[in-house]
Chains A and B, each alone.
Chain A
């Protein structure tokens, strides 16, 4: 268990390492063409990654993402496990969606000021009670 609250601390931010290089991976793109990807959009590979590695034009990071989403996984988890910024991850996942190698499921739609679906709340409650 972490002993400090490191999300609050100033980041050890080497621009060479953490900013410039990721955008080299994306060939200079800084914004995903797909505006619908979110932190908790669930990404899942459509075919076994090994069958897709022959696909041309894939960066090593694309392949790493395909490995990560053999099982459904949130975009934020992919970013965290591959140590990529969220914005870069969105661009690369967008590439894979365009190629048809992964599918994306958006988060549950929730309307501000309205009670969420009772069935959804009951499922969450059941899950919490099992903790």
Chain B
């Protein structure tokens, strides 16, 4: 892959790397940007996307008013693996109901991490449903701030109604080592092809 004309005049200064991404999902305030920041080689960047969504029951005169535009924002970071490969980490915006109309979200996505907060496990349901429906492999990272952990992994697994093979990890995702271990577990899971 890459550009074989890079040494010709008019070729790129250097070949472009291949890119993949991981999606970092979960409910509001659960620590998505924090996890992105913990492993990214750059300060998390923020980008905005306008999505056109069908709206039902609005005054529909000659095709005007049957579409709405909503704005979604994502924080993302980068890990340069090598000159040939870059991994992006995208913190997904919370509005899961819009994700189905947003093919670019999953383009090039190897897999996802659903961050769960044991006090508000229901906020993870939307992400889990989406990834299950789209066939995107995911692991669950339970964010334990300050080592606070009030529910066992089997309890969490049952509350989230997870398939038995979906890995669940517990850690303080503000820490680079904990976030890295969750991503490594996701890579291991991808390799097993158990999904």
Contacts and interface: CB of A to CB of B under 8 A. Distances in A.
Interface of A: 1-2, 4-8, 11, 13, 18-19, 38-48, 70-72, 74, 76-77, 79-81, 85-87, 100, 103, 105-110, 112-116, 118, 120-121, 123-129, 131
Contact of B187 (A19, A74, A124): A124
A74 B79 contact: no
A2 B37 contact: yes
Contact of A40 (B11, B15, B45, B108): B108
A7 B91 contact: yes
A85 B48 contact: yes
Given A123-B82, A127-B85, A81 B19 contact: no
B3 A103 contact: yes
A108 B29 CA distance: 30
The 3 closest A-B pairs by CB, nearest first: A107-B108, A127-B81, A80-B45
B112 interface: no
12 contacts: A5-B31, A6-B33, A7-B91, A45-B13, A47-B9, A72-B12, A76-B90, A87-B49, A105-B17, A110-B108, A112-B134, A128-B184
Nearest to A43: B16
A46 B28 contact: no
A105 B15 CA distance: 9
B144 interface: no
B151 to A, nearest CB: 22
B48 A42 contact: no
Nearest to B106: A112
A121 B187 contact: yes
A8 B29 contact: yes
A85 B69 CA distance: 13
A126 B81 CA distance: 8
B20 A110 contact: yes
Contacts of B107: 38-40, 107
B87 A127 contact: yes
Contacts of A11: 48, 71, 73
Contacts of A48: 13
